[in-house]
Amino acid sequence: MPGAIDTLLRRLETIGYVTDTDRALLADLPIRIVELGRGEDAASDGNVVSQSCVLLQGFMHRYKVLPDGGRQILAFHTPGEIPDLHSLHLTKMDHSLAATERSTVGFIKHTDISALLERSPNITRLFWRATLIDSAVFRMWMVEMGRRPAVAHLAHLVCEIYTKLHVIGLARNWVFRLPAVQEEIADALGLSAVHTNRTLQDLRARQLIQFEAGNVRILSWPGLVRLALFDPSYLHLREDVQLPEG
Amino acid sequence: MPGAIDTLLRRLETIGYVTDTDRALLADLPIRIVELGRGEDAASDGNVVSQSCVLLQGFMHRYKVLPDGGRQILAFHTPGEIPDLHSLHLTKMDHSLAATERSTVGFIKHTDISALLERSPNITRLFWRATLIDSAVFRMWMVEMGRRPAVAHLAHLVCEIYTKLHVIGLARNWVFRLPAVQEEIADALGLSAVHTNRTLQDLRARQLIQFEAGNVRILSWPGLVRLALFDPSYLHLREDVQLPEG
DNA sequence: CGCCCACTTGAACGTGTTCAAACGTCGTGG
DNA sequence: CCACGACGTTTGAACACGTTCAAGTGGGCG
């Protein structure tokens, strides 16, 4: 995969500053490129792992399955992110990480990551910061789940994903791919699939989005933002990144 | 405050191993001891901060307030934790941190923490791990909020707090302090205060707990664990710590 | 004594769930 | 080429969990 770390770099540069020496160090990281099929786990709940993966192409989600079969999706991840970087210090997975659609990931051994971090305090800070931003997103989701009505929550999720894709250049003109089926969106929102379907129809009826076959078109960004009360500061992006506006 | 870092050490030793040199380094940390009144913020949403605080005595919670006045409590914190350690790398607060009851905290400047971390890769790992465990707890809460009925969720919260207090020696014999009023518990569970009241009565009627004036007595740990489906592995405690049992 | 705060109770209401069935599309195999 | 099955989406209707509003209780403290 040519420029595997370019994807990682683009993401890192949206949340902090990368020096040239860091760039060189990252380029030297041994990465094993793997193609994951839809729904395939990159890491599974309960397992002790010795590698993390950077998402290069596609879409991933983290999730937890309950004894009764219920599932809660905890996060969606976009290219350049390292969804299971936390496993570097919490080697036993307390949830699973899967490809939402067919995706390309790059596995990096923990030993190689540790060696890299020893050599660059700046990358240490950046990687730590990346895990802290995951944490900030969890907090935001908790607020959405606990205190917001279904439509607003769904609108917020759309705003979040669009913003994340936009800043790495993977979304323009209010169109993007959200390769999740309604049941997955439901599991992310903490709702039933039936109600998620009706909530989507609500958003459509309000002329805020189109959503079909994993393709979203935002019809009114200001309308969505207002409904969602979306404020991107919790994403802790660099002050100089270009946020969506319109 | 004699042995301010002892409290911190006790917590750190439940999640990892601290060397003697680390102990010495920690003991040298300049700490400013402050008493916080009930409800008083140690750090507030939107502020840029240059210090973090270790909870020495009492109880804290993190929360976010919505434009409509609603509040979501994101976490409860027990002595020895550094609830806003994340602000080391996310200096702009995206939520607030407050004392749940009158508490003693020790403020540590970020510059001093950074200096410490530069000298000890082991403490860096431990501190990073601590923030990752916060993250793991957020994930668990998301599952509880999204996929569990109110009683089970409440039971889970009780199990979590008892376990955290137990491992640092602040709870024995199934009795502990949970100095939160019902409205705070409601805001933590994502429920209304009224329904939280009824859910508490439900737990009492099931003979699982007593709860009065911030004092909890667990009447049947196995019963609570079963109802909550409580599995402490998400707390990522050291394998050799003594978990509650009975 | 009187007020404030937290807790409690009742009753109507509403958002979201559950169960069940139907529809459409796509890929596969007869 | 069509039949079939799998899967995702959509719809209807009954139900339930949790909310909201409103009032009342009780203890602690000035």
pLDDT per residue as tens digits for the range A41-56: 999 999 999 999 999 9
- pLDDT for B3 equals 75
- Share of residues in chain B with pLDDT > 90 (%): 98
Q: Is the pLDDT of residue B163 over 60?
A: yes
Alpha carbons A117 and A121: distance in angstroms, whole number = 6
- pLDDT for B4 equals 82
- pLDDT for A4 equals 82
| pLDDT tens track for A20-30 | 999 999 999 99
Cβ of B229 within 8 Å of Cβ of A67? The answer is: yes
- Share of residues in chain A with pLDDT > 90 (%): 98
Fold (topology level) of B148-235: Arc Repressor Mutant, subunit A (1.10.10)
Fold (topology level) of B6-137: Jelly Rolls (2.60.120)
Alpha carbons B211 and B204: distance in angstroms, whole number = 8
Strand D interface, A 40-69, C-beta < 7 A? none
Residue closest to B166 by CA, chosen among B75, B242, B64: B242
| pLDDT tens track for A90-117 | 999 999 999 999 999 999 999 999 999 9
Alpha carbons B42 and B34: distance in angstroms, whole number = 10
Q: Is the pLDDT of residue B1 over 90?
A: no
Q: What is the DSSP letter of A102?
A: S
Q: Is the pLDDT of residue B53 over 70?
A: yes
B233 close to A (CB below 8 A): yes
- pLDDT for A113 equals 98
- pLDDT for A246 equals 81
Alpha carbons A149 and B245: distance in angstroms, whole number = 39
* Mean per-residue pLDDT, A196-225: 97
Q: Is the pLDDT of residue B2 over 80?
A: no
Neighboring chain A residues of B132 at a CB cutoff of 8 Å: 86, 89-90, 131
Q: What is the DSSP letter of B172?
A: B
Element housing A77 (H / E): strand A71-77
Measured in angstroms, what separates residue A195's CA from nucleotide D11's C1'?
12
Cβ of B66 within 8 Å of Cβ of A134? The answer is: no
Q: Is the pLDDT of residue B198 over 60?
A: yes
Q: Across-strand partners of A177? A: A215
Alpha carbons B144 and A27: distance in angstroms, whole number = 40
Alpha carbons B149 and B88: distance in angstroms, whole number = 36
Residue closest to A52 by CA, chosen among A85, A11, A26: A85
* Mean per-residue pLDDT, B155-172: 97
- pLDDT for B201 equals 97
Q: Which residue, chain included where needed, has tokens 């506006």?
A: A245
Which structure tokens are listed for B243? Answer: 């978990």
Alpha carbons A130 and A133: distance in angstroms, whole number = 5
Q: How many helices (H) and strands (E) does chain B have?
A: 8, 10
Which structure tokens are listed for B143? Answer: 């599952």
CB-based contact A105:A83 (threshold 8 Å): no
Q: Is the pLDDT of residue A2 over 90?
A: no
* Mean per-residue pLDDT, A18-40: 96
* Mean per-residue pLDDT, A121-130: 97
CB-based contact A18:A129 (threshold 8 Å): no
Q: Which residues of B170-201 are buried (b: 16+ CB within 10 A; e: fewer)?
A: bbeebebbbbbeeebbbbbbbbeeeebeebbe
Alpha carbons A21 and A177: distance in angstroms, whole number = 34
- pLDDT for A1 equals 59
Mean pLDDT for chain B overall: 97
Q: Which amino acid is at B34?
A: V
Cβ of B143 within 8 Å of Cβ of A94? The answer is: no
Q: What ranges do the domains of chain A cover?
A: 6-137, 148-235
Strand C interface, B 184-243, C-beta < 7 A? 193-194, 197-198, 200-201
